[in-house]
């Protein structure tokens, strides 16, 4: 990958501006700084390697050189999008799953921000915001996708099993083509963010639907329940042991027997 090849490949998409780095700490950090400055809607930061890639709750995200996609897309939400910002993680997830479905794969979304292939994590999403007073000015959508086998970290550093597109397909794929497809899917889906059809598409790809899971909510304890769907804001809807429906806004799904 390099800036001019990527510019050419993405030339038919309405990307405002792109910054490519051979190596960077975190594309989200670069995008947040750019967003706080003068970045336009649909500005893109992409790196071949990240040396300080981040997951949620300051977890590490590994992006070894030459093997993965690591990029951050800056959105300046329109007034119509503002009431639906909590759905942005769904927009990102569905953009990745669309690009995988188009390659004949069967992805699932492990709520809230993981994409699975064959029950293993192939991609992660990190959404961050830049505020202006009380309002969200920009959303940074960070995506890390394991494209080649070499992108998959060693088991001992993982909370959950991981895989790559190459593992799932049995042959290597071109990183830049996957990038193009994810961005094209996101641009196409974005106008449907507020629709019921968008939510239905998201729910249809949820992993472990109908299964009992434990959702750990950081310092706020854990709940056990059967996944039944999503709330209108993208929260995870569960049915607890007494049959009561509840919605969880953040957390990590653990499978029984809750390893």
Interaction of residue 151 with ligand BT5, rule CB under 6 A: yes
Distance CA 197, CA 122 (A): 25
Segment contacting ligand BT5 by CB under 6 A, of 2-10, 88-96, 143-151, 201-209: 143-151
Site map 76..115 versus ligand BT5, x via CB under 6 A: -------------------------------------xx-
Interaction of residue 59 with ligand BT5, rule CB under 6 A: yes
Residues in contact with ligand BT5, counted by CB under 6 A, come to a total of: 32
Report yes or no: 175 and 47 within 8 Å, Cβ to Cβ: no
Please name the helix (run of DSSP H) or strand (run of DSSP E) that holds residue 167, with its range, or none.
helix 165-169
Shortest gap between Cβ of 34 and ligand BT5 (angstroms)?
13
CB nearer to ligand BT5: pick between 216 and 239: 216
Distance CA 128, CA 140 (A): 5
Shortest gap between Cβ of 46 and ligand BT5 (angstroms)?
9
How many secondary structure helices (H) and strands (E) does the chain include? 6, 12
User: Is the Cα dihedral 12, 86, 131, 31 positive or negative?
Assistant: negative
Paired with 108 in beta bridges are 116
CB nearer to ligand BT5: pick between 23 and 195: 23
Q: Of residues 43, 67, 72, 237, which one binds ligand BT5 by CB under 6 A?
A: 72
DSSP per-residue codes, 100-121: HHTTT---EEETTTEEEETTEE
Q: Of residues 32, 35, 54, 234, which one binds ligand BT5 by CB under 6 A?
A: 54
Per-residue buried b or exposed e for 209-232, using 16+ beta carbons within 10 Å of the residue's own CB: eeeebbbbeeeeeebebbbbbbee
Interaction of residue 27 with ligand BT5, rule CB under 6 A: yes
Distance CA 172, CA 170 (A): 7
Interaction of residue 67 with ligand BT5, rule CB under 6 A: no
Coil, strand, or helix at residue 43?
strand
Shortest gap between Cβ of 242 and ligand BT5 (angstroms)?
29
CB nearer to ligand BT5: pick between 55 and 231: 55
Q: Of residues 77, 107, 144, 251, which one binds ligand BT5 by CB under 6 A?
A: 144
Shortest gap between Cβ of 213 and ligand BT5 (angstroms)?
15
CB nearer to ligand BT5: pick between 142 and 234: 142
Distance CA 3, CA 161 (A): 32
Nearest 10 degrees: CA dihedral of 117, 118, 121, 123? 0
Residues within the interface to ligand BT5 (CB under 6 A): 26-28, 50, 53-57, 59-63, 70-72, 113-114, 121, 124-126, 142-144, 146, 151, 153, 158-159, 162
């Amino acid at each position: 990958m390099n800036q001019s090849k990527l510019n050419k490949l993405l030339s038919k998409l309405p990307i405002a501006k792109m910054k490519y780095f051979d190596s960077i700490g975190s594309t989200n950090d670069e995008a947040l700084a750019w967003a706080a400055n003068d970045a336009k809607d649909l500005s893109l930061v992409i790196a071949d390697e990240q040396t300080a890639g981040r997951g949620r709750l300051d977890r590490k995200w590994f992006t070894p050189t030459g093997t993965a996609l690591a990029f951050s897309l800056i959105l300046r939400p329109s007034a119509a999008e503002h009431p639906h910002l909590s759905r942005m993680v769904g927009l990102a997830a569905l953009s990745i799953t669309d690009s995988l479905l188009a390659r004949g794969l069967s992805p699932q979304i492990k709520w809230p921000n993981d994409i699975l292939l064959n029950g293993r994590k192939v991609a992660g999403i990190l959404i961050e915001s830049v505020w202006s007073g009380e309002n969200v000015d920009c959303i940074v959508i960070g995506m890390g996708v394991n494209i080649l086998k070499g992108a998959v970290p060693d088991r001992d550093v993982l909370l959950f099993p991981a895989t790559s597109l190459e593992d799932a397909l049995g042959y290597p794929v071109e990183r830049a083509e996957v990038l193009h497809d994810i961005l094209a899917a996101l641009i196409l889906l974005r106008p449907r963010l507020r629709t019921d059809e968008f939510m239905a598409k998201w729910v249809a790809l949820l992993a472990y639907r109908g299964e009992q899971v434990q959702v750990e909510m950081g310092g706020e304890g854990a709940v056990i329940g059967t996944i039944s769907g999503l709330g209108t804001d993208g929260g995870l809807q569960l049915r607890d042991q007494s049959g009561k429906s509840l919605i969880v806004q953040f957390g990590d799904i653990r499978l029984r027997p809750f390893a």
